[in-house]
Structure 1
Amino acid sequence: MEYRKIGKSGIVVSRLGFGGIPIQRVDVREVRPVLDVLKDGGVNFIDSARAYTVSESFIGEALKHDRKDWVVATKSMARSYSDMARDIDISLAELQTDYIDIYQLHNIKTEEEMDKVLAPGGALEALVEAKKAGKIRAIGITTHNKDLLKKLLAAYEFETMMLPLNLVETDKEDAFINAKDLGVGTIAMKPLAGGFFGESQEFPADVALYYLKNFSAADVVLVGMAEVNEARQNLEIFNSEVDLAAKVEALKEKASFAAREFCRRCGYCQPCPVGIGIPTIFVLETYYDRYGLPGWAKERYKNLAVKADACQECGLCESRCPYGIPIRRKLKEVHRKLGVE
């Protein structure tokens, strides 16, 4: 297993990281066997989030006997000082630890959110305070928008960043290179494009992960895992010397054609005149279709203030989408899947 010092934090991490989304669908007793396999294979990095329901508590229970052998990251959607301070303490309790290695501002979507978290009384202030108190070791940022990421990294010296990168979203490579040039640790999420790769032999997961493993500007490749066999397969890819470069180029071309309706969550379609959170709705569809979390996706959808059926088909979103996604049709499809009668 290859290791990196992540940014200026001095924290040493494995190139392959454990993503904590999928464990929401298993029993807490099934988590430690997965981590045992990963640990034996050299993995030391774990990522979770307050938003991932039981994920933090499951990880905390699994790590209570060897916490110091792991680099643990988590994140919060809190935008204010008080909410973030509360969430940090909840994360510490759920993870059964007295420190968290990397705490991240989770999924900053707009400049308005960026301004709010960076302003006095914003969430960043609570993170800085927690770092001084020894509750966290490093402060990170996550987003799906590479242009917004550039502004965030210019506004504050974050120690890590997290952004999607996969063979559908290779346009984000420059954002990773830029972050590395700034001395920021880089974490690639969604390496399998939310399950797009690995669904069939036509789009093999091993080739998709080979691409990330060999993209040097990504310090950590974060893969969601919930089963022992998944852990073993991913370790085999990261520890293998097999050259799949030719297959990467072929798959990249094929994926670009096949993923014409794949939402990259760039946010250019926003704002919707009636307030539909289009990227959020498409993320919930991914949880429903590919992460094996249909109940969770439906519950989250039910709690949205504005659902997909509010679409008035004005077409403004489609005129803004740089990928030509048929958003109006897809919103109808998602509502049929996730809508609660």
Structure 2
Amino acid sequence: MTWQLTLARKAELRRKAGLNRQLRIRGAAVNLLDLAGNDYLGLARHPRVLRAAGDTLNEYGLGATGSRLVNGSTKIHETLEATLSTALGGEALLFSSGYLANLGAIRGLARRGGLLVHDAHAHASLIDGCRLSGVPTTVMPHSDPQTLAAILARHPGPAVVIVESVYSVHGDLAPLRDLYKTCRVAGAILLVDEAHALGMLGPDGAGGVAAAGLSGADNIVITATLSKALASAGGLIVGPRELRRHIIDTGRTFIFDTASPPAVAAGALAAWQIAVDEPHRRATVSRRIVHAAEALGVTVPAAGVLSVPVDDARKAVAWADRCRALGVAVGCFRPPATPDRRSYIRLTANAELSQADFDRAIDLIVRERP
């Protein structure tokens, strides 16, 4: 049997189990009520964001044309890093994606003879960072500071604990203060991925760490993506000056990757400024996600994403397809993309939708529930 036939057989098995995936081509025109994307604050088409990106596109051209260390760093990258450094309480380093930022952060923090501990619900990029580090890794039960304390007590060497502030599938908030206390007692570093919290939680949207009163605390490192509430692309690591210097000098996902286009960075900077200037957008998302959770009978999440469990992957796909056919886009999360091997319909709240459209979308989702 050729290798192509082997892959085809595996694909057929996934199809029968409802685990196959397909690309959905999205047009420029908005023809669906979007409760699937991560543009929580509704900034992807904001005039200030488009103007900033367009002006920078005309000035710098399409791409960065090189890595950050060759010729890919521009004044707009520097300004975005400085702005987010001030907001998040550390020194920021910009990457072309949140995935690469997570790989780079974990590799930069990992030490020979050390231990990595990641939450059982950690994002794939965090898990991959642990695997690629070559450092022994332990999985702790989800949001369980007591078990974490026992794990760290058994390991006398350096340790890095890896969590998300808001988890990307269930939307729940990590107990960051308790996790930080546990790490501090053990002398461990706490790495917090703020992907779904940046722009959404804390003062001016500075994230879950800021909301927990831990901005600038010793032994906390933040990673985040600019592709969620800030409606752009790129990732960042925020931590002490020594870490930034270390990653610039040694971080493979920083050194050998082409920089994010200046126009994209400019759009992200404009989006951040809007998020600070217009807190009513966060308030709108909060109200809407509470309404959606109550209508669907699930726990109210921490930020702008919630998931509804479905007992079979094929039922989840069918539910999502019915909603899409009727004009509402929802996410459909199935193994291996879920942390507990269950399937979910995932909804996000978008502040840009009218209240009438959002209510209509939720009513339709509830009506079509299997």
The TM-score with structure 1 as length reference comes to: 0.38
The TM-score with structure 2 as length reference comes to: 0.36
Q: Whose Rg is larger?
A: 2
Q: Which has the higher contact order (CA 8 A, sep 6+)?
A: 2
